[in-house]
Amino acid sequence: MSLQFGIPLFIIAALLQAAVLSHLRVYGGQPDLIVVIVLAWSTLDRDREGMIWAFVGGLFLDLFSGAPFGISSLALIPIAYFIGLTEAQVYRTNIVLPLMLTLAGALAYHGLYLLLLRFFGGVSLSWSEALGYVTLPSVIFDVILVIPALRLLSGWYTRLHPRQVKI
């Protein structure tokens, strides 16, 4: 993802997340737009871009949060790294696999975020309460959101990274 496309995308996503999506809470969960974009891009790009945008996206998330600055990046970068380890362009062959990756990625992100929040922010939440009230509704939102996100971003990805064919 190029800078002139990525930065405005994450600015808009962060603004929407802070001002609009935070009003759409079901139980305590809300759609994590930036997390979804990072997970979708990491699914599409198996090189380093997913991790770089995980770093940038996490910083934008933390701009509008009371959490220690950098905590979301720290939670997102390993997820982007591990998604990049999965084999081949799964999205092109099967839609179920990216959904499973998003499910696992979003769950891992929330788990890591809670751990880091406890370690760096001193906020200790009950795991069972957090899981039932916030994590699961958020993850369901994310899995639903990733389908349109993949459709939109895969178009951009193909434009930015055209397939090279040897003649």
Partner 1 sequence: MRRESRRLLTFGVLLLLTLGLLGLGSRLSIIRPLISAVTLPLSPIARLLTGGTETIAGLSTPEEDPEVLKARNRELEKTVAEMQVEIVRLREIERDYYRLSGLVNYTTQHPDENIVTANVISRDTSSYLRWIIINRGARDGIKVGNPVISDLGLVGRVEKVAANLSWIRLANDPASLINARTQESRAEGIVTGLLQGGLRMDKIPQTQLMDVGDLVLTSGLGGMFPADIVIGQVTNVSKPPAELFQTAEVRPTVDYNNLDIVSVITAFIPVDTSVFDEQIQATPNP
Residues at the interface with partner 1 (CB under 8 A) = 11, 14-20, 22-23, 25, 28-30, 32, 34, 47-48, 51-52, 54-55, 58-59, 61-74, 77-78, 81, 84, 113-114, 117, 120-123, 125-126, 129-130, 133-134, 138
Q: How far is the CB of 39 from partner 1 (least distance, A)?
A: 16
Least distance CB 160 / partner 1 (angstroms): 18
Query: Which CB atom, from 58 or from 98, has the smaller least distance to partner 1?
Result: 58
Exposure b/e, 5-39, CB count within 10 A at least 16 = b: ebeebbeebbeebeeebeeeeeeebbbbbbbbbbb
Q: In angstroms, what CA-CA distances link 71 with 31, 58, 134, 144?
A: 18, 7, 18, 25
Taking the C-alpha atoms of residue 5 and residue 14, their distance in angstroms, rounded to an integer, is 14
- Give the nearest distance from C-beta 166 to partner 1 in angstroms: 18
For the bound state, the minimum distance from the C-beta of residue 14 to partner 1, rounded and expressed in Å, comes to 7
